[in-house]
Amino acid sequence: MASTHTKIGDFTFDNCLMNAAGVYCMTREELAEVDASAAGSFVTKTGTLTKRAGNPEPRYADTTLGSINSMGLPNLGYQYYLDYVIELQNQPNSKNHFLSLVGMSPEETHTILKAVQASDYHGLVELNLSCPNVPGKPQIAYDFETTEAILTEVFTYYTKPFGVKLPPYFDIVHFDQAAAVFNKFPLTFVNCINSIGNGLVIDDETVVIKPKNGFGGIGGDYVKPTALANVHAFYQRLNPSIQIIGTGGVKTGRDAFEHILCGASMVQLGTILHQEGPAVFERITNELKAIMDEKGYKNIEDFRGKLQYMN
Ligand code: ERO
């Protein structure tokens, strides 16, 4: 049968499917469940310098075609997640993991990353440049100057494998400009996409989440074409040494197949993991392997990035 084995930088994974940051990754218990599932890895909830309660509830809603959330970055503080991934990396046969991080200011981001640099952790870090839900804090990666300034500073002291979580871009010029910034740095990966920020879902006459008068990040079916476009746009533009993690709208093996076809080396599940729980990894892995078997693909490198265009 086909293998969904993959690599990000020097790290190998038995399966290219894993959770998306924010879903099923708040506590050690949730992370342990994902780790014990068919997922190839996990990423932690984005950890900040100090723990945060997040926005008032209800702050997540399933919708007909996906989800809307305005969690507001609730998390247990970066140290909690750093301790856990270090604990796991010291266990025999541990999977490789991703530690998601961001500060509430560039200064806090550097404080956190300097602590991770000084720690025993030698796994992957994902800097979240795209949280849409903290009132008064814009999505960092929509500001190319600030993004470049942060990454310039980071790479003066940070030497471990490092990637960034990006918001969706919607304009070809923005793909060009964003890729030009990221190509200046020795990034291991970029992850496309975070939720589409600040959508609005209405039930009868009322919003479905409380924070920000109902505005929140959109995930699920709505976002798949945007996610695929971002994965492929960056696949076309980034230095080949920068790999792509594809996130957005994956709920079947076919969706994962399409992300890989667009260039993704790893594929993350958000909304569907929230709906189905960690058993979803086995279902979607089996669906993806069945498609690969039918097409005669032995591993994901046989078709990764090989999206066909019309003449
Ligand atoms: O509100 C959040 O905690 C959140 N929701 C998202 O859809 N994406 C995020 O990146 C994020 C917080 C970091």
> Is any atom of ligand 1 closer than 6 Å to the C-beta of 72?
yes
The rounded mean pLDDT for the chain is 98
- The pLDDT score that the predictor gives to residue 52 is 98
Q: Is the peptide bond before 193 cis (omega within 30 degrees of 0)?
A: yes
Atom of ligand 1 nearest to the CA of 54: 3
Atom of ligand 1 nearest to the CA of 73: 3
Per-residue confidence at 191, pLDDT binned at 50, 70, 90?
very high
> Is any atom of ligand 1 closer than 6 Å to the C-beta of 48?
no
Residue 91 Cα to ligand 1 middle (Å): 30
- pLDDT tens, residue by residue, 80-105: 999 999 999 999 999 999 999 999 99
Atom of ligand 1 nearest to the CA of 72: 1
Tokens of 249: 């709208």
- The pLDDT score that the predictor gives to residue 137 is 87
| Longest CA pairwise span in the chain (Å) | 54
Residue 306 Cα to ligand 1 middle (Å): 31
Per-residue confidence at 203, pLDDT binned at 50, 70, 90?
very high
- The pLDDT score that the predictor gives to residue 175 is 98
Mean pLDDT of the 259-276 span: 99
Residue 84 Cα to ligand 1 middle (Å): 21
Q: Which residues are catalytic?
A: 131
Mean pLDDT of the 226-236 span: 99
Ligand 1 pocket test, candidate residues 133, 134, 164, most atoms within 8 A of CB: 133
Mean pLDDT of the 250-279 span: 99
Per-residue confidence at 164, pLDDT binned at 50, 70, 90?
very high
Residue 132 Cα to ligand 1 middle (Å): 6
Mean pLDDT of the 270-294 span: 98
Q: Give me the domains of the chain, ranges plus CATH numbers.
A: 6-55+73-196+221-302 (3.20.20.70)
> Is any atom of ligand 1 closer than 6 Å to the C-beta of 199?
no
> Is any atom of ligand 1 closer than 6 Å to the C-beta of 150?
no
Atom of ligand 1 nearest to the CA of 100: 13
Which residue has the CA at smallest separation from atom 11 of ligand 1? 131
- pLDDT tens, residue by residue, 56-75: 999 999 999 999 999 999 99
- pLDDT tens, residue by residue, 109-152: 999 999 999 999 999 999 999 999 988 888 999 999 999 999 99
> Is any atom of ligand 1 closer than 6 Å to the C-beta of 40?
no
